[in-house]
Amino acid sequence: MSDTQANTSGSKESQELALHYMKTLVEVARESFLILDSNLRVVSANPTFYQNFQVSPEQTENVLLYELGNGQWTMEHTYSEELIGRNFANEKSS
| Ordered DSSP codes for 9-70 | HHHHHHHHHHHHHHHHHHHT-SS--EEE-TTSBEEEE-HHHHHHTT--HHHHTT-BGGGGGG
> In the CATH scheme, what architecture does the domain 3-93 have?
2-Layer Sandwich (3.30)
Q: Where is pLDDT greater, at 20 or 7?
A: 20
* Domain residue limits, the chain: 3-93
pTM metric for this prediction: 0.60
Between 93 and 72, residue with greater pLDDT: 72
C-alpha–C-alpha distance, residues 37 and 19, integer Å = 11
d(CA 54, CA 68): 12
State the chain's mean pLDDT as an integer.
76
Rounded CA-CA distance 45/27 in Å is: 8
**pLDDT tens-digit map of 50-89:** 999 999 999 999 999 888 887 777 765 555 556 566 555 5
Grade residue 92 by pLDDT with cuts at 50, 70 and 90. low
